[in-house]
């Protein structure tokens, strides 16, 4: 008889793990508290507009290909991908710089801003490409069980890259502050400031300029739809509206089941794909590995205030992805990490997928997604949300030279309280735990419980870290560990 596994949570990591385990012959049931799968990557559909509630940047297409290839499939079997051109726009106070869809074009943009910067950019991207090869094709597929996993002939030669930081490296080579911001931007996806992110992570510059920015037609949620379909094809049973309220452990410290909607279900293996802090709270205190003080000390990635806005006209002077870097980044970063508070003049990000993908808004209209990164755990009230909407709309109108407020059909918002309620997120974090030097690989929360036998964890708080591609990898790693330990 095949071994039964319960998975808690249907984000990218839970879904990925479910697919791998089902393929390996396990009998998998996935329990999701919400009414649809997808976790932070769910979708909002309203009045003919479609929005991704969370992720919108499809980077590292090779990792998605690797995922589907493990099942003898390819992304194209499930969704249509377009490379965005331009990749994105960066809006500064006095100008907007658009990033092209190939390195030659990006180098030309750099050279215009700073003489000699094109060749320096080539050097940066070459080095970032080397690190990408080491990290993504190799290191990130290790389960973080031991520091020795990081010791390879290649990484030994790269020791300096774990000591230096991205901010210092960029500033050593480039002096134009706009180019510095553009080169520092990709590591923000890892959840910490560039000054607190090891140099090695500059492989994100290769992901950005080397591999490009892609868009699945219909939005990121199409990837979730694809994975749900694959999971169904492999025989995974998916139960939505199924919040797990307890993980049961027997007297020999082995997991024995879960409680869902008041009912007991017996399992010899449980994998938690919900936020780690919450998952451990489903255990009795003596079975938890990490105390509150552990989580308190960790650098969490930001939370966010997000608005989903339907506009009743096409907007001008926008691209699919737009970064509003027209205020002081250092100050905003300080208000997120050093001295948590609502930011005075925040940077923000806006996307309008309807600029390139007409399926996401009615004809002649635009879907706007606006995101302000915030410190996790901040007070969240309707008044604060309204103040910040006005703040960014004013700036958006000024920078893009148009009136948009009168064209709003509806707006919905999502912030700290929603992250907590919708996903049981610790302090309402959006992207999990940051990838700082002390929160990398084996220094991140374990994939396998050290206290409860046959209890495993996956997702953006574990290895390798935040983001959709890392969550896919995390699901694979957790599934491999389960397979290894069930064979013992």
Ligand X SMILES: Cc1cc2nc3c(=O)[nH]c(=O)nc-3n(C[C@H](O)[C@H](O)[C@H](O)COP(=O)(O)OP(=O)(O)OC[C@H]3O[C@@H](n4cnc5c(N)ncnc54)[C@H](O)[C@@H]3O)c2cc1C
Listed residue (303, 252, 233, 250) closest to 275, CA to CA: 303
Alpha-helical segments (H) within 147-237: 153-156, 160-163, 166-173, 177-184, 203-205, 221-233
Containing 109, the helix (H) or strand (E) segment is: helix 103-113
Single out the segment in contact with ligand X by CB under 6 A; choices: 5-13, 112-120, 292-300, 440-448.
5-13
- Is the separation of the CB atoms in 483 and 24 below 8 Å? yes
Among 109, 213, 304, 436, binds ligand X (CB under 6 A): 304
* Edge-to-edge strand ranges of the sheet holding 237-239: 237-239, 27-31, 4-8, 269-272, 455-457
Single out the segment in contact with ligand X by CB under 6 A; choices: 39-47, 95-103, 376-384, 442-450.
39-47
Contacts to ligand X from residues 365-394, by CB under 6 A: 371
- Is the separation of the CB atoms in 299 and 337 below 8 Å? yes
Q: Which is nearer to ligand X, 124 or 433 (CB)?
A: 433
CB of 380 to ligand X, least distance (A): 14
Distance CA 118, CA 129 (A): 16
CB of 360 to ligand X, least distance (A): 15
CB of 422 to ligand X, least distance (A): 6
Q: Is there binding between residue 302 and ligand X (CB under 6 A)?
A: no
Q: Report the 10 Å Cβ neighbour count for 360.
A: 24
Q: Which is nearer to ligand X, 14 or 343 (CB)?
A: 14
Q: Is there binding between residue 212 and ligand X (CB under 6 A)?
A: no
Q: Which is nearer to ligand X, 155 or 373 (CB)?
A: 373
Question: CA of 302: how far to CAs of 159, 207, 321, 434, 466, in Å?
Answer: 28, 21, 19, 9, 11
Listed residue (388, 387, 48, 357) closest to 216, CA to CA: 357
Q: Is there binding between residue 248 and ligand X (CB under 6 A)?
A: no
Among 6, 7, 10, 448, binds ligand X (CB under 6 A): 10
Please tell me the count of residues contacting ligand X according to CB under 6 A. Answer: 37
Distance CA 452, CA 446 (A): 12
Q: Is there binding between residue 467 and ligand X (CB under 6 A)?
A: yes
CB of 371 to ligand X, least distance (A): 6
Q: Is there binding between residue 288 and ligand X (CB under 6 A)?
A: no
Q: Which is nearer to ligand X, 193 or 435 (CB)?
A: 435
Among 5, 12, 161, 447, binds ligand X (CB under 6 A): 12
Contacts to ligand X from residues 253-282, by CB under 6 A: 273-274, 278
CB of 108 to ligand X, least distance (A): 26
Among 33, 178, 320, 385, binds ligand X (CB under 6 A): 33
3-class secondary-structure state, position 456: strand
Contacts to ligand X from residues 408-437, by CB under 6 A: 423-424, 430-432
Q: Which is nearer to ligand X, 194 or 376 (CB)?
A: 376
Distance CA 262, CA 241 (A): 12
CB of 46 to ligand X, least distance (A): 17
CB of 284 to ligand X, least distance (A): 16
Q: Which is nearer to ligand X, 110 or 307 (CB)?
A: 307
- The contact mask relative to ligand X for 435-464 (x = CB under 6 A, - = no) is ------------------------xx----
- Is the separation of the CB atoms in 269 and 377 below 8 Å? no
Per the DSSP assignment, residues forming a β-bridge with 309 are: 368, 411
For 5, how many CA atoms within 13 A lie in the half-sphere containing its CB? 34
Q: Is there binding between residue 11 and ligand X (CB under 6 A)?
A: yes
Q: Which two tokens stand for residue 57?
A: 């940047």
Distance CA 39, CA 296 (A): 24
Q: Which is nearer to ligand X, 41 or 91 (CB)?
A: 41
Strands 43-46 and 49-52: antiparallel
Distance CA 85, CA 355 (A): 11
Listed residue (389, 383, 387) closest to 368, CA to CA: 389
Q: Is there binding between residue 468 and ligand X (CB under 6 A)?
A: yes
Contacts to ligand X from residues 52-111, by CB under 6 A: 54-57
Q: Is there binding between residue 39 and ligand X (CB under 6 A)?
A: yes
Binding-site ranges for ligand X (CB under 6 A): 8-14, 31-34, 39-41, 54-57, 243-244, 273-274, 278, 304, 306, 371, 423-424, 430-432, 459-460, 466-468, 471
């Amino acid at each position: 008889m095949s071994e039964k596994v319960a998975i808690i949570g249907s984000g990218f990591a839970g879904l990925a793990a479910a697919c791998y385990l089902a393929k390996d012959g396990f009998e998998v049931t996935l329990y999701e508290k919400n009414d649809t799968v997808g976790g932070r990557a769910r979708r909002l559909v309203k009045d003919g507009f479609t929005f991704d509630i969370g992720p919108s940047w499809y980077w590292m297409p090779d990792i998605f290909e690797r995922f589907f290839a493990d099942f003898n499939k390819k992304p194209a079997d499930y969704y249509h991908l377009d490379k965005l051109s331009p990749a994105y726009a960066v809006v500064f106070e006095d100008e907007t710089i658009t990033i092209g869809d190939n390195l030659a074009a990006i180098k030309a943009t750099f050279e215009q801003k700073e003489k000699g910067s094109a060749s320096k950019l080539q050097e940066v991207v070459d080095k970032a490409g080397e690190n990408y090869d080491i990290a993504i094709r190799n290191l990130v597929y290790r389960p973080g069980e031991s520091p020795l996993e990081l010791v390879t002939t290649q990484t030994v030669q790269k020791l300096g890259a774990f000591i230096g930081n991205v901010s210092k490296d960029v500033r050593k080579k480039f002096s134009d502050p706009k180019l510095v911001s553009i080169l520092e931007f990709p590591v923000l996806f890892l959840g910490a400031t560039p000054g607190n992110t090891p140099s090695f992570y500059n492989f994100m510059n290769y992901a950005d300029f080397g591999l490009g920015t892609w868009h699945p037609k219909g939005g990121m949620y199409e990837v979730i739809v694809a994975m749900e379909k694959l999971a169904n094809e492999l025989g995974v049973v998916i139960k939505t509206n199924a919040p797990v309220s307890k993980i049961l452990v027997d007297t020999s410290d082995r997991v024995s089941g879960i409680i869902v909607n008041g009912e007991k279900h017996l399992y010899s293996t449980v994998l938690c794909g919900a936020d780690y802090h919450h998952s451990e709270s489903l255990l009795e205190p003596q079975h938890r590995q990490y105390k509150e003080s552990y989580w308190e000390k960790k650098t969490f990635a930001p939370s966010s205030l997000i608005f989903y806005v339907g506009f009743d006209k096409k907007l001008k002077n926008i691209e699919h992805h737009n970064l509003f870097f027209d205020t002081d980044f250092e100050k905003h970063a300080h208000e997120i990490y050093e001295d948590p508070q609502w930011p005075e003049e925040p940077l923000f990000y806006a996307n309008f997928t309807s600029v390139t993908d007409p399926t996401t808004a009615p004809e002649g209209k635009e879907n706007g997604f606006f995101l302000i990164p915030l410190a996790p755990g901040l007070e969240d009230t309707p008044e604060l949300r309204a103040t910040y909407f006005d703040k960014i709309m004013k700036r958006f109108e000024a920078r893009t030279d148009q009136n948009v407020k009168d064209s709003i059909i509806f707006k919905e918002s999502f912030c700290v309280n929603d992250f907590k309620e919708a996903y049981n997120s610790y302090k309402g974090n959006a992207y999990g735990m940051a990838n700082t030097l002390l929160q990398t690989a084996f220094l991140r929360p374990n994939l396998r419980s050290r206290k409860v036998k046959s209890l495993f964890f996956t997702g953006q708080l574990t290895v390798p870290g935040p983001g959709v591609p890392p969550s896919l990898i995390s699901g694979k790693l957790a599934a491999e560990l389960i397979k290894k330990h069930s064979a013992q």
